[in-house]
Structure 1
Amino acid sequence: MEIFRLSDLESLFLSPERESCLSYKLPYVPKEIGKLQSLQTLVLDTNELESIPEEISCLKQLKALTLSNNCLTELPNGFSNLENLTSLHLANNRFCSLPVSVCHLSNLGFLDITDNDLDLVPEEIGMLAESLHTLLLFMNKIEKLPSSFSTLTNLTCLWLGENCLKELPRDFGELFRLDWGSRPCSSNIAGNPLVRPPMDVCQLGVYAIRKYFHEDMEA
């Protein structure tokens, strides 16, 4: 509890994976975490967390939050109050859908939610169009992307590999900043049962995808 009296603390690392001196795994985060009003970086990955206390929404200065490698299925009410958050790591948890509260984080630039049980990306993902540059959705169960997905035109890195996608949104070619063509990577799109466009087109990059849908419309 002494930690939560450090009112000027800006960074807190409680990850046994990153800090070899830590020999335990946290089963919970005390609600007193909300007292650390100056906190900007909070790292809690590789623990045994099944929930996060509501009080985390009081950390208005928080910029980077790492919760990967836990047992989380949801985020607390008020999570969208973390308006200064720019980086959020949620990989290897048990989320079945992307929490809509994440889509209300207007400054979020980096979002990693790989290796979960997502089968749905909400339409509200389009609310991150101005800020989001990296979106990692690798290794989930996503069957379809919402129409608003094509508004994420600031994306430079997108991992959709190892999902259940059979088609991409018709306007997917609007994501012209993606580095798919210049830097091919198996995490981008491989491992999906794609039909429209077929996989060989997708692997050529965004401009090939745009051309495919343009020719499809003309036909």
Structure 2
Amino acid sequence: MKSARSFSSLNLSTDQQWKYLTEHDPKFEGQRKLKIEGKELVSVPLRVFGLEGLQVLEMSPERESCLRYRMELIPREISHLRSLTLLYMDSNNLKEIPAEIGTLSNLERLTLSNNRLTSLPPEIGGLEKLHSLHLANNNFTELPAQVCQLRHLTFLDVSDNQISTLPPSIQHLQKLETLLMLFNSLEQLPGNVCLLRNLRTLWLGYNHLRALPENFGALVNLDWGNNYCSCNFEGNPLVRPPQEVCGGGPGVIREYFASPYRALGE
């Protein structure tokens, strides 16, 4: 394992315009971190993957350089970084993720938003410690089934894709507390989502939903009477129940579906 000193001595300045930080970043409480950025960043120097003790690797550009950030591939040598707990790869030009990502058994947080992904490798389902996965603003048309194997997930963001369906296996994400699905193409929310009893935040705005599952009221932790942003339906053509009922919270929705007269008012 590399020492903290070897992190400080890593010289990347000859490659491009690099920045690097080590464990001195207070945000990560002494974890060994490397941040790489550059306006013309296309690939990562392979010697980065010799830092076997690296715990946090950040390869997401600063906002002002996004338009020129063109990394398309994560090198397979990523598998050498077995100590990684946090991997940030937002706002690149990634079209695929290598199977070797599945070897990062200590990974807890993976951010891949703002790329060009349409699928994930099956191996990603083996990341048993992963609890936070960010996939917003990619090109997914369905939620990858392997995501539903990540049974320790507490946070999942797949907003701003073209997802039209959710697999029945989503019910396996029993620890999920936050599910963000704004700006997709959902026409139906499967009842299996309502088995995720730990959900505290569910954002469904700007889809094509006309109805909610009849068991939606079982999501009792979505109490937007106390937390108005815990659930979001805005931008959906909901009629069952109508928007004014949805605004009342899960208890009111549960009463709506329990009423024998509900069909008469629709």
TM-score (norm 2): 0.78
Report the structure number with the largest CA radius of gyration: 2
C-alpha separation in 2, matches of 1:205 and 1:172? 10
Structure 2 spans left out of the alignment, 5+ residues: 1-45
State yes or no: 1:123 paired with 2:146. Answer: no
Closer, same or farther: CA 67–216 of 1 in aligned 2, 3 Å? farther
Residues 1-219 of structure 1: pairs in structure 2 closer than 5 A: 1-17=46-62, 24-129=69-174, 131-185=175-229, 188-216=232-260
Aligned-residue CA RMSD in angstroms?
2.1
Q: Secondary structure at the match of 2:259?
A: helix
Aligned length: 218
Q: Secondary structure at the match of 2:78?
A: helix
Percent of aligned positions with the same letter in both sequences? 50
AA in 1 matched with 2:245: V
CA-CA distance at 1:33 after TM superposition: 0.6
C-alpha separation in 2, matches of 1:24 and 1:217? 57
C-alpha separation in 2, matches of 1:118 and 1:166? 16
CA-CA distance at 1:61 after TM superposition: 0.3
List structure 1 runs of 4+ shifted beyond 6 angstroms: none
Matched-pair contact (CA < 8 Å) for 1:46–1:68: yes
C-alpha separation in 2, matches of 1:217 and 1:33? 58
C-alpha separation in 2, matches of 1:118 and 1:204? 27
C-alpha separation in 2, matches of 1:218 and 1:95? 36
Matched-pair contact (CA < 8 Å) for 1:134–1:157: yes
TM-score (norm 1): 0.94
C-alpha separation in 2, matches of 1:57 and 1:74? 14
The one of the two structures with greater contact order (alpha-carbon pairs below 8 A, sep at least 6) is 1
Matched-pair contact (CA < 8 Å) for 1:138–1:187: no
